[in-house]
Every structure is written in structure tokens, then in C-alpha cells.
Amino acid sequence: MNVQTPNALAVLACAAAAASADIIQVSYGSLTGDYVETFETFDAGAPFVGAPTTTASSPTPSASRSPNASTASPSPTAPTRAAAAPTMSSAARPTARSRSPSAATQNLVIGDTTPVGGTGHAISGLSSPGWPNFQAIGEGAATFLFDVGQPDVGFTTFGALDGGDLRADFYDRGGGLLGSVTIDEIRDGGFGFATSDGSASIAGMVITNTEAEGISYDNVWYHTVPTPGSLAVLACGGAAAIRRRR
């Protein structure tokens, strides 16, 4: 039997906590986040072509939302803007150091889906034809960068009518790929994803699709405050710093 020193055991524990987790698909209704971004507070621009944006920062959550709730209930711990919400762009790969979006007309658009049978605002990636070309809307990548590590995250779709595929890639804080999930012949609905070990290691999500008419995303369900899994990783970082000082 090998006997380890306390410091060695701490290093092993931290390494285990920081290990990359696989990504699995889960039901949208099983997600545990405390906030759902509906994009209703964002400018939706003109009908059909929406309002383009280079990046879109979710406003500070002032209420805890449920996708099945008709009204929002007060949040006991409304987080600040800096600690809460994701930044959205069409950057190809999210990292903690780089958030470079594409050109303004090939980035993101937020529009009102009501004129085409939807229920409100949604966000879409813009492909190379660029805004305001209707053929570009919903065909580009959409990247979500979270300031708080996520053990699970999800969204709903609008416009998935022609049987195209959807792919969601998930990245850690350093830009490393945690895993990818492809949904074949997607139809509108809610989709959830989680780390297989429950760790709060998801820092970024990139969604792409092969839908002929494009797909819009809504009701992004995520955590605005650190979960126990992410706090464990932070504690490991603190322990390592203390050892270095000693």
C-alpha cells in the first residue's frame, strides 16, 4: 500500500475534480439552472430580419425564471451582471482569453418569431450571405460563453422544419473540447445537456445546424451562480496557490 502525504492527496483530489467530463444529452425539463433567458428584453428589430448584433450580453437576471412559469418569481440572490450572464457571439471556439466575433453582418441576429408562428424573441446565427439577407438567418453558428461554470445547460429551438441536423459542442474554460452531441433530423423542442460526472466544467457552447431554412434558439436555461462542482474546482485552485506560497 502506498502512503501519500496530505499535499499529494490534495493534488490528486484537485486533478480528479478538474478532469474533463463527457457531455450527455438529458431532458430539457431535468435541467437545474436558476435562470432562463427568453430574449424578450432584447431589441428584435424589424419583422423577419430582426436586429443584428456583434455580441449580445444577457441582462442582469432580476428574477428566477422557469420555462413553464407564466410569471417570474423574485430571486432571493439576484446576481450582478459581471457574475451572471453569458455573452453570445458567432465566434468559432470559446476560450477565457479570446471572444472574437465574426463580421457584424455575419454574427448574430435577435428577432421576433411571432410573425412566422413563434411565441416571442429568439436568437440566431448569421451565415455568409449576411444580414439582412433572410437566407442567412439561423444558418450560422451561435456561441454562448458563460461566466459561471455549468453542470448542465439547454435551449429550445424554433424553425426546425426540414429535418436537418443540429450539433452542440461544449468547451471548458481553457477552450478544450469537453464533448459534442449531434441530434439527427431535429424538430422543434427543448434540448438539455449535462456533464456526465456532474462537474460544472461547461464554460462555452457552440451550436450549429444543417437545417435548410435555419434554426433559432430560445429559452437558454443556465446557472447564474457557482454550483458545488465549480466551487470545488475553485477551492483546488486556492489550495494550489497556498502550496506555492509555502
- pLDDT tens readout for residues 165-211: 999 999 999 999 999 999 999 999 999 999 999 999 999 999 999 99
* pLDDT score for 228: 74
Residue 176: its pLDDT value, please?
Answer: 93
Based on the number of CB atoms within 10 Å of its own CB, is 130 exposed (0-12), middle (13-18) or buried (19 or more)? middle
Provide the pLDDT for residue 89: 76
The pLDDT assigned to 231 comes to 54
Say what the pLDDT of residue 1 is: 43
Contact 91, 102 (CB under 8 A): yes
Spell out, as residue ranges, where the chain has pLDDT lower than 70: 1-20, 59-86, 90-101, 229-246
Longest CA–CA span in the chain (Å) reads 70
What pLDDT score was predicted for residue 123? 95
Residue 179 has a pLDDT of: 96
* C-alpha 204 chain-centroid distance: 6
pLDDT of residue 91: 54
pLDDT at 230: 57
Closest CA to 122 of 160, 79, 73: 160
Burial of 80 (0-12, 13-18, 19+ CB in 10 A): exposed
CA 50 to chain centre: 21
- Sorted by where each starts, the structural domains of the chain and their CATH numbers stand as 20-60+79-245 (2.60.120)
